[in-house]
Amino acid sequence: MKTRTKYLAILTAAIFFLSGTVFGLFAEEETKTAVTPLEVVPEPLEIGTLGPGGHLKGIFFMKSNVSADMKWSTRGPSGWTASGNEVLSARMKDFLGYLDIGIIFLDDENVEEQEKDRRVEMVLESEGETLTLVGTLPMGDHLVEIPILFEGGEKIVSVRFETALREPGPEMSIEPPGLDFGVVEGGTTIKKKLKIKNTGKGALNWKVFLQGNRGEVDGVSLRKAIYISFLNEDSPGGSSYEVPARLSKILQLEGPWLSEDGYPASNGGETLRMTFTGTGIAVIVRPDEDGGKLRASVDGMPAVDLDCSSDELDRIAVVVADNIAEGTHVLTLINDGGYAVIEGVRIYGNEPLDGVPGWVDVFPKSGTSRGQTNYVTVTVQMDNLKAGRYSENIVVQSNAGMAVVDASIEVRRDAVSKIIDIYRYVKGNDYLYTGQTEMEDHRVLSTYRKQKLAFRLFREETPGTRKFHRWYSASRGDHYYSCDPQGGGKSLQGYVPEGFIGYIATSRILGTRELYRWYNPSTGCHFYTTDVKGEGMRKKGYRFEGIAGYVR
């Protein structure tokens, strides 16, 4: 379950509330409405899940708007029995006060372990005075109301919590939820990583294996499909979403789509259309508790509603069409209102080809996480794969449940080279790198002197790579390159974007090597080379700045 309000967040809000009092942020307004005598934050107070042996704590902060030493009291929630004093009384100090709350299960030898009702103790405390109460609660969610009596009135505050037979245990988070290797030239080896993280308590024990020929795992039916991710790593969160080059021929968007961690997101009124070939399709959304609704249809058939609201699920896959005629179809998604994040789709039909044994492998196959992130490397060997589409489901079993990660790849075997030769040109202290001279301004290029083949980049649709962007500063006489469209932390003031020169690997791919970046602080110019010693540029005042990426 997603818990959005934590104790520290409550404390932070309360500190802000109190500091607002001290610094006058809660100054009285000159209005005709009556002044609220007593203010309490937060409301309601959410304090989490209580299991046997556990202890929940929370705190209400109070502010009086009428008296610096206002007296207040409480008998606790209705239906609870006091143990000892029946009333807790306290006074404000300089208009401020608090009510501290603690809740535990009471040991009871006569209660069976699986019984649903348990005795719970609540302790209310303020300024050294306490009120102890006992109640009987079933397992589940609770909203307990506490009346606070003060001079001139009464205010009801509420505490929200959950009781469970067991303490919260480990929870598993996996990123990315699916692996879209894209379209790849046969004969290469590609690796991607899965991140397995324990977001709960205790030890998360996990193991990873492939679905293979299994039709189900742990009673869950598994169906292989072609997984297509809409992730665009070049569209950072908070910016406008741009369709990645690999999907530009099949995916069209209408309206102001935003980027949510690289995935397309909309607030209402936007439309998405995708052309696909198959006999069915499922849409995968990332729900949110404030999520809206999507209407999805294929070829104008009756629409299917996709509910994007949930505070418990990380992703939802909804089949929009199945068992339709084999062929090319168009999926249409319309946001009727509310927030919606689209992860991608699964395409059925055109059954994926069976790869030779060992064409996909995972390592390591098991592990334990106590809060840290574990990495699993997924390797695809394409030496003996013929052209076509391949799919596999990667199953992650753990003591916190099971997850299934889609993995798909399309293998091509053609004569078109997937590698671009990048040559270095120089003019003064400025180094220009290009592999497509026909795309350059020949009047500009003619002012440079060609040096040599510097390195090789990848063409589009190569998994594990990103655009290698180029900028130029006329004032410095310098070209700068980065796989980050924002410049990778460098200030781009005075630089003009000049597109990109190819695709560079962001991590080591088989057959690649490091491309090093050097910088001369005296001239403000950059130099790129695969030579770890910088081709002697240190003697010219250049300093090593790091790895720009991995090249052939």
- Amino acid letter for position 131: L
Q: Which of 412, 444, 459 is the last residue of a domain?
A: 412
Query: Are 208 and 396 in contact, with CB atoms under 8 Å apart?
Result: yes
Phi, psi at residue 486, to the nearest 5°? Answer: -95, 0
Per-residue pLDDT tens over the stretch 11-23: 444 444 444 443 3
- Give domain status of residue 100, yes or no: yes
For residue 325, the surrounding DSSP H or E stretch is: none
> What is the DSSP track for 336-359?
EESBEEEEEEEEESS-PBPPPTTS
Q: Is 82 exposed, middle or buried (0-12, 13-18, 19+ CB in 10 A)?
A: middle
Q: What is the pLDDT of residue 461?
A: 63
Do 361 and 475 sit in the same domain of this protein?
no
- Give domain status of residue 19, yes or no: yes
* Strands 88-91 and 513-520, sheet pairing: unpaired
The 10 Å CB-count burial string (b at 16+, else e) for 512-527 is: bebbbbbbbeebebbb
Residue from 32, 116, 123, 118 nearest 76 by CA: 123
Q: What is the pLDDT of residue 187?
A: 67
Q: Which domain holds residue 134?
A: 7-163
* 3-state class (DSSP) for residue 25: coil
Per-residue pLDDT tens over the stretch 111-137: 554 556 888 999 999 999 999 999 999
- What's the CA gap between 85 and 127, in Å, rounded? 15
Residue from 183, 192, 245, 228 nearest 413 by CA: 183
The 10 Å CB-count burial string (b at 16+, else e) for 344-354 is: bbbbbbeebee
Do 425 and 519 sit in the same domain of this protein?
yes
* Strands 304-307 and 293-298, sheet pairing: antiparallel
Q: What is the pLDDT of residue 209?
A: 95
Do 100 and 217 sit in the same domain of this protein?
no
- Give domain status of residue 1, yes or no: no
SS3 content of the chain, % helix, strand, coil (to 5): 5, 55, 40
- Which two three-digit tokens encode residue 392? 């596999």
What's the mean per-residue pLDDT of the chain? 86
Q: What is the pLDDT of residue 24?
A: 42
Query: Are 37 and 149 in contact, with CB atoms under 8 Å apart?
Result: no
Q: What is the pLDDT of residue 13?
A: 44
Do 245 and 362 sit in the same domain of this protein?
yes
Q: What is the pLDDT of residue 8?
A: 39
- What's the CA gap between 217 and 405, in Å, rounded? 13
- Which two three-digit tokens encode residue 514? 């490091």
Q: Is 21 left (phi over 0), alpha (psi -120 to 50) or beta?
A: alpha
The 10 Å CB-count burial string (b at 16+, else e) for 285-317 is: bbbbeebbbbebbbeeeebeebebbbeeeeebb
Query: Are 345 and 317 in contact, with CB atoms under 8 Å apart?
Result: no
Query: Are 360 and 210 in contact, with CB atoms under 8 Å apart?
Result: yes
Residue from 242, 208, 211, 207 nearest 227 by CA: 211
- Give domain status of residue 207, yes or no: yes
Do 151 and 185 sit in the same domain of this protein?
no
Q: What is the pLDDT of residue 29?
A: 40
Indicate whether this model's pTM tops 0.95.
Answer: no
Do 221 and 275 sit in the same domain of this protein?
yes
CATH code where residue 211 lies = 2.60.120.260
Do 526 and 482 sit in the same domain of this protein?
yes
Tell me which DSSP letter residue 66 carries.
S
Per-residue pLDDT tens over the stretch 154-170: 999 999 998 887 666 78
How far the first Cα of the chain sits from its last, in Å, is 45
Do 156 and 102 sit in the same domain of this protein?
yes
Do 128 and 184 sit in the same domain of this protein?
no
- Give domain status of residue 57, yes or no: yes
Mean pLDDT by 10 residues, the chain (552 residues): 37 45 39 71 88 86 92 94 92 93 79 67 94 92 94 92 80 92 78 90 92 87 92 80 89 92 90 94 89 92 90 86 92 91 91 83 93 91 83 94 92 71 95 87 89 90 86 96 93 92 89 94 96 94 95 92
Q: What is the pLDDT of residue 416?
A: 54
Do 398 and 429 sit in the same domain of this protein?
no
Residue from 509, 513, 506 nearest 529 by CA: 513
CB atoms within 10 A of CB 486: 12
- Which two three-digit tokens encode residue 222? 């598994």
- Give domain status of residue 400, yes or no: yes
Residue from 127, 71, 136, 139 nearest 100 by CA: 127
Do 312 and 282 sit in the same domain of this protein?
yes
- What's the CA gap between 24 and 42, in Å, rounded? 19
Q: Give how far Cα 211 sits from Cα of 108, 208, 217, 364, 367, Å.
A: 46, 10, 8, 16, 19
- What's the CA gap between 124 and 121, in Å, rounded? 10
> How many domains is the chain partitioned into structurally?
3
Residue from 345, 233, 227 nearest 282 by CA: 345
CB atoms within 10 A of CB 58: 22
Q: Which of 412, 434, 456 is the last residue of a domain?
A: 412
- What's the CA gap between 76 and 73, in Å, rounded? 9
Q: Which of 384, 412, 440 is the last residue of a domain?
A: 412
Do 275 and 181 sit in the same domain of this protein?
yes
Query: Are 514 and 532 in contact, with CB atoms under 8 Å apart?
Result: yes
- Give domain status of residue 2, yes or no: no
Query: Are 194 and 178 in contact, with CB atoms under 8 Å apart?
Result: no
